[in-house]
């Protein structure tokens, strides 16, 4: 019941609120998993960073409160991040209506959001007039993936748009590389949510595998299979990962596994 959840939240605050080193965001996430949403709300203001507060509010579907918190912080990038998250979760008409109603939205931010919407319309018209522009527009989508596309869904949209245009331009090689990148960022996002304390976004496939290999080898093995990495390449990645982390015991045990696809020098 609501009363029980209030009591739980109050007890957590009373007993742990002043204890240093308590990761309250982890408690909040566990409460969210258990669908104790009142507990989540009551604990959000206890040693939880603004970014984490906003993430949780968006997960609770409190879009307006998340946006207002971001705007109140004065951090334009954070506000844009929230807007892009909202944009990816609702229809275009609802999103446009939200922009119109949001009187506290700074003009520059408002224009940036509208520019993003207008950009896609402009690209469509440009391709109709000149189909040869496909590759140039495809590259612009890749640039957007690294600049204004702040959420995984938005990055996926940009990359999928780029891949589609490259295929239409008969450049299947680049399209395939982009598809691989799309798969990678989705997998990285899934792994970060699963493992909590691992940062993978922005890493290459090799760097992602090296990061996982020390403490999450099974996940690394699964990722390797997902991307069809051959034994020889993966063997080298493992050796490099263990060496970089000074994981000599793991490296020794690994060296005992037969057969080696790369051989060893004595």
Q: Which two tokens stand for residue 216?
A: 């999450």
Q: Is the peptide bond before 164 cis (omega within 30 degrees of 0)?
A: no
Query: pLDDT (tens digit, 0 to 9) for every residue of the chain, 266 residues total?
Result: 567 888 888 888 887 777 777 777 888 888 888 888 888 888 887 778 888 888 889 888 888 888 888 888 888 778 878 887 887 787 767 877 777 777 677 766 665 666 666 666 667 767 777 878 888 888 888 888 887 777 788 888 889 989 999 999 899 999 999 999 999 999 999 998 888 778 898 899 999 999 998 888 899 999 999 999 888 888 888 888 888 877 777 777 776 666 555 555 44
What is the predicted pLDDT for the residue at 219?
A: 93
Q: Provide CB contacts within 8 A for 66, sequence distance 6+.
A: 54, 57, 58, 82, 85, 86
The span from the CA of 266 to the CA of 256, in Å, is: 14
User: Where does residue 28 rank: exposed (0-12), middle (13-18), buried (19+ CB within 10 A)?
Assistant: buried
CB 236 within 8 A of CB 263: no
The span from the CA of 48 to the CA of 137, in Å, is: 41
Beta strands per DSSP E along the chain: none
Residue spans of the domains in the chain: they are 135-202, 204-266
Q: What is the pTM of this model?
A: 0.55
Report the candidate in 80, 44, 75, 73 with the shortest Cα–Cα distance to residue 59: 44
CB 189 within 8 A of CB 199: no
CB 150 within 8 A of CB 80: yes
The span from the CA of 166 to the CA of 219, in Å, is: 32
């Amino acid at each position: 019941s609501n009363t029980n959840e209030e009591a739980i939240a109050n007890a957590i605050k009373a007993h742990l609120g002043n204890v240093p080193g308590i990761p309250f965001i982890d408690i909040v996430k566990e409460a969210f998993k258990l669908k104790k949403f009142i507990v989540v709300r009551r604990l959000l203001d206890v040693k939880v960073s603004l970014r984490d507060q906003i993430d949780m509010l968006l997960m609770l579907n409190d879009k307006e409160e998340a946006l207002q918190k971001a705007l109140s912080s004065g951090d334009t990038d954070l506000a844009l991040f929230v807007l892009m998250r909202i944009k990816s979760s609702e229809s275009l008409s609802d999103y446009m209506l939200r922009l119109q109603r949001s009187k506290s939205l700074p003009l520059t931010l408002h224009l940036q959001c509208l520019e993003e919407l207008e950009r896609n319309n402009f690209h469509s018209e440009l391709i109709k007039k000149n189909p040869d522009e496909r590759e140039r527009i495809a590259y612009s989508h890749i640039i957007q993936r690294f600049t204004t596309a702040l959420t995984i869904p938005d990055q996926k949209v940009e990359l999928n748009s780029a891949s589609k245009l490259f295929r239409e331009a008969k450049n299947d090689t680049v399209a395939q590389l982009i598809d691989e990148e799309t798969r990678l960022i989705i997998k990285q996002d899934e792994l970060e949510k699963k493992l909590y304390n691992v940062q993978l976004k922005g890493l290459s496939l090799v760097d992602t595998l090296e990061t996982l290999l020390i403490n999450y080898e099974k996940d690394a093995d699964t990722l390797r299979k997902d991307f069809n990495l051959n034994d020889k390449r993966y063997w080298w990645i493992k050796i490099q990962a263990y060496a970089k982390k000074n994981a000599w015991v793991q490296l020794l045990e690994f060296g005992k596994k037969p057969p080696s696809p790369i051989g060893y020098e004595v």
